Amino acid sequence: MSWPPESPSGLIGAEIAGYRVERELGRGGMAVVYRAKDLRLGRTVALKLLAPEYTRNEAFRSRFAQESRVAAAIDHPNIVPVFEAGEADGILYIAMCLVCGLDLRALLDREGPLPVPAALRIAAQLASALDAAHARELVHRDVKPGNVLVGKGVDSDHPEHVYLTDFGLAKKSLSLTGFTSAGEFVGTLDYVAPERVAGRPVDGRSDQYSLACVVHETLAGTPPFRRADHLELLWAHQYDPPPVLSAERPDVPGDADEVLHRALAKIPEDRYDTCLEFVAALRGAVGGAAPRGRTPAPQPPDWAGPVLRPAF
**142 catalytically annotated:** yes
Set 131, 142, 166, 207: catalytic member: 142
**Rg of the chain's alpha carbons, rounded to an integer?**
20
Residues with a known catalytic role: 142
